[in-house]
Structures are given as structure tokens and as C-alpha cells.
Structure 1
Amino acid sequence: MNIRHRLENIYRLGIKELFSLRQDMVLIALIIWAFSFAIYTAATGLSHDLHNASIAIVDQDRSQLSMRIQDGFQEPYFKKPVRIDYSQIDRVMDGGDYTFVLVIPAGFEADVIAGHQPEIQLNIDATAMMQAGIGESYITSIFSQEIRTWMGGKTQAAAQNAPSPVNLVLRYAFNPNAESAWFTSVMEIINNVTMLSIILAGAALIREREHGTIEHLLVMPLAPFEIMMAKVWANGLIILAASGLSLIFVVELLLQVPIAGSETLFLFGTMLYLFFATALGIFLATLAQSMPQFGLLFMLVVLPMRLLSGGYTPTESQPQLMQWIMEFVPSTHYVTIAQSILYRNAGLEIVWPEFAMVAGIGGLFFAFAAFRFRKSIAVMRN
């Protein structure tokens, strides 16, 4: 069979896959949700910033400085501070009324002027772990700023006795305002590319098996590679188009996230990665006998990939053995490609090693998945 005839078979089988998917409204709804509403809700609802944190203050000093510090807690980072008595601390913390309860002791202003560095008690509801960690640094910064400003109006002798906070100038690269939506939205696209490409390719094979149409293909003069390649290009094309549209209309237009680099280069990297992800879906489908089994295998494989690929936790923070293992997983390099191009405006001259790793490892796994698919087809034919 010549190459042209093989390509025609792959093309026609791919068109059949697209028509089959058109009949599956559940999968279509999943694709639309994953690349639109899911990205928007993750970027706006799951915030890594401090926003409207509840705080109560026990002001036992009632001095000018303590009042100034209270005024420093402003929206949108904190809700308006509520004054409570010291005896109320345990009750409001147990009831979850406030995330932070600050106690300013009596004689606080006098101790600051005398240079005694008084201790401040900050009670934190650590069940809200994300706000707790970020809020602690915010409150520390507010104290330093307000004390520095307030001491600037005192006498020179008093200012010399007061603690002098370090004037730390911060510069956030690639995200000047440290907005979590900039990070979360793009990472959701990356995660959904992996998730949907595995699901679509695997579900396509299982759907053929459950509906009995795979037997029709087996009696036709078709090679297993042609059947598998058709599923790869058809389902990969859908994911590639959905990710490109999501990047433009949801991330850039709706969420107003500026994309620094080339979207075309990112989509090219996505196309290379899809060969691995769709092949992984087909491989899992050859192991599973039904959709429930496929779903269990999907969770066992995809969840570790999401957590360990560097999208949420930097790979250098992971154990050395885990770092070595993840170097051979294309999703790790795909995350690096996406972050380098979309955030840092990296060109091909910078990310070509990651492209090579995705193409090389993905190609090897694609060949392995094709071998496994060929064996499963041979068993069905016999």
C-alpha cells in the first residue's frame, strides 16, 4: 500500500472520528466547559491573592500609633477592622468569625519610641491556609510601613532609638502586580490540554469497542497505525483549536491577561505535545475494558502529572528522585514551554531544547502506544 493511500485512509478515518464526536454531546459540553467557564472560574474564583480578609483588633494601647496601624488595613486586601475585647478572642476564633485577630498591647507607642521593640500578638485561623500565609506577610509589611512613617514625624533622638525597618524594594518580573489570574488562567489551559486530549482519544477507542464499530474497521484493509493515527489527528485538532480560541477569547479578552510571547509558537509546542497526550489516552484505553476502568486509570496517571509537572509546585522543590523521573515526562517540558513563551516572551532559540524533549520522548511513547494498540487489535481479530 503506497503512502498516498495510507494518508487518504488516515484522513477519512479522522473525519469519521469528528462525526462520531459530534454525536457525543457530553464530550462536546465537557470541551466547551473546560476551555471557557472552567478557566474563567479558576482564574477569578480560586485566588492566590489576599482579598477581603476578615480582621479584628484588640487595641489595649489606644494611642495615635495604634490608631494609625488600624487605618492601614484597607480594602480590597482586608475588610474594615472590627474592634473587640481581649476576652472575646477565643470565642470569635472558635466561631471562625475572623481570619486574623491582632492584639496591640498597652504601652505599645511608648515602647516603640523608647526602642524596646514590643511584641505584637497575631492570632491566625490557619484553616484558611492560603490567606493565612499571605496575610501574615501583609500585616508585617503594614506594621513596618506605618511605624516608619509615624516615626518620621518624631524628634531625631526618638527616631534614632526606634527600630529602623529595611526599605526592601520589590520588582515582580513578568507579572508586575502579582495577579494570580495571570498565572492560573494559562495553567488551566495547559492542564485542560492534557486532560481533554487523553479523555477524547481514549474515549474514542472505547466508544468504538462498546458500539461494535471497531469490528467493522478490522474487516477493512486498514493497518492499526492508520486507525490510531486518525484518532490522534482528529482529537488533537479539536484540542488544538479549543486551546487557541480559549487563549484568545477567554484569557486575553475576557480576563485581560497580557500574553507576552508568540501564540503561534505556543500552539506549535502544543501540537507536538498532543502526540504524546493522545497516544497516552489510546494506551490507557487498550488497558481498560470499559469507561469506568478508563476513568480510574486516568485519575492514577493524570493527577500526578498535574501536581509534579512544575505548574503548581516548582520541580526544584521536589525530591531529587522525583525530579529525575519527571524529566522523562513530556508534560514537565510542556509546562516549561508554555510559561517561557507566554509569560517571558521566549523564542525558539531559547525553548528548542524543551521542544526536542517533548518531540523525542513523545515520539518514543507514541511508538510504544502504537505497538500496544497493534497487539490489542491483533487479539480482537483472532
Structure 2
Amino acid sequence: MTRIVFAPDSFKGSITAADAAAALAAGWRDVDPGAEIVLRPMADGGEGTVAAFAVAVPSAERMPVSVDGPAGRPVQTSWLLLPASDDAPRGTAVIDLASTSGIEMLDELRPWDADSRGFGQAIAAALDHGVSRLVLGIGSSASTDGGTGMMRALGARFLDESGDEVAPGARGLPDIAHADFSGMRRASDVRVLTDVTNPLTGPRGAAAVFGPQKGLTDRGDQQRTDSALARLATLLDLDALTPGAGAAGGVGGALVAWGARLLPGAAEVAGLIGLAAALAGADAVVTGEGAYDGQSGDGKVPSHVASSASDAGVPALLAAGRIDEHADTGIFTSMVSLTELAGSSASALSDPERWLNAAGAELAWGFAGTRS
């Protein structure tokens, strides 16, 4: 009997990591019905982080919460409560920004008004529950608010020269003259999952690099926002060049100022869901993501899974929406592109479950051939 671990990331905007793992596994089982299937959907802090933990830790409990979404409208979502452990006796809360303040939640981009308040409200709900540890995924942000929305939800105040609260989102950043953190809540063990190492400000900062993805396309607007973020860093007593401070429109920097640790997302998720233990004794691991390209080797899920598999002496197989011809694929024993299977990117995106199922079957046939 073969033992196969399925550890893909989400295929962004298309299918969650948990559903991708299940679809790949179903395709593999069509070819190898006796295979022992182990599902370990992965994440690097972006969308699907909570879902990945939910699959990997069956005793975890989803905790419903209503928050103000990035457009200011109420959103029904949840955070995940992991069971108590020796180092987290009151449990661990897993919260992802994507499901509280994420860009996929917007009908249209709101570069000036979107903020991270909902993320902070979910954090506050977890603190109200009394958890010992926070694990925060901060990928897929909708805003460039420097984390001010999140901090406000935790009790901070941002005031203009007249002592009035400034507007939310990037719109209010240039008006901040004073910050009051006296009423801000605290937490002792906060781990932040991110694959972004950009600083808060400068040519690689939040406004310049990620602002355009969120609708902040005018160069002058980017520069004004960058200057406002620099002033915010001073108020936070934060080094604006801290690697990762620019993640999620500056939420990374705000969390550092709050006392959190920024950690490589894929590596931390792998440790918390027990990927190494799952790989022990496995015959192969199947990983994947939406686009495997030149950036995928820089701490992304497939490269981390392949590295862990190599350490365990287990072959790694790749299924991706598309595979860039210039990407480093030498770390995989075999690979398959959903775009090639489906005949086009549009076809693959229209029915990802179907084509992941087909990819799982193709990888199983190829793997069987190597063992015959």
C-alpha cells in the first residue's frame, strides 16, 4: 500500500488549499484505490490559512464572529481555536486577514477607504476568549492603512492636529498627528505568518509595491502615502525598514510594534500542522499552487514542501495552475500543469476541482510507472 501526503497551497482566487488537496487525492485514488491518503493542506499566511489548520487539526473549533469588512459592511466570518497544549494552555487562535479584511471581499477596489479594522476585531474576539497564543496570517490585504484599522479595533486612537479621530484607511494616514496607545490591548505570544519581506516604506515599501494592486496607481498618491507611513512608523517607534513591515499594507509593521514576531509563513504552518511527521514513512508528497514561477522558490509553499520532502527522503510531485518555463522545477520528481491539461488557463480556472482531479490521476500514473 502506498502512503501519499497531499500538501498544496490554495490556488488563489480559484480553490482553497483544503479543497485542492481533496481534489488531488480523489484523482490519485481513482488510479490507486488502495492508497493511504494523508491530507495536509498548506498555507503561507494568505487565504486558506484557517482552512488549512482546520483540516490538519480535526479537534480545532471554528469560532463565528461578525466584523466590519474592508468596505465597512458587516461580514460573518470565523477564527479557529486550536486545542490547549503545554506551551499554549488556553489554546491557540488562528486568524487570517484574508477572511476579515481581504481584497477578495471587495466588489471593487477601495484604495483610500478600505482598512484592516475587521482583522483587529477578530483578534479582539480571540483575546476575549482568553487564548494563550495568536497565529495571524496576513496575506491578501485589501488596504494600505498601515495597520491603523487593526490597532483601532484593539483600542488605539489616531488623532489629527485638532484632536479628532482621522478618517479610516489610507485616506486618514496623512492627517495623523498624534497616536494614543494607552487603551490598546496586549498579547504575549503573537506569531505572524507572511512570505513578504518588504519594508514599510521606500521603493520596495507597502505603497510602492502593493499599493497598485489595491488601486493606489497614481505615483504621486503612492509617494504621499509612503510619507504618511513613514510618519506613522515614528509614532509607533518602529524601524520602517524592518523586513516584513510592509506586508498587508503595513499591518506587518503595526504588529511588530505591538510585540509580534514575523515568521516565514510556510515553515510555521508546516510545523504547526505536523507536516514532517506526516512525511515520515510516506511514499510521496503532492504539493502545488496557482502559479509556479520564479518567485515560488522564495519561501512559497511548494518549495518548502519539496525541501521538507527531500529531508525525509520522499519524492515531491507538483500540480500547478501554470508552470513558468523559467522556474526551478528540478526539486520535483514529476509535475503537471492544469493549464496544459485543460487546454487553456480560462478552462482550468473555470473548473479547478475537475482539473486538479485529473492532475492527481496523472501524477499517480506517472508515480506508478517509476515503481514498476
Category of TM-score, reference length = shorter chain: under 0.3
More helix by share: 1
Could you say which structure has the larger radius of gyration?
Answer: 1
TM-score (normalised: structure 1): 0.24
TM-score (norm 2): 0.24
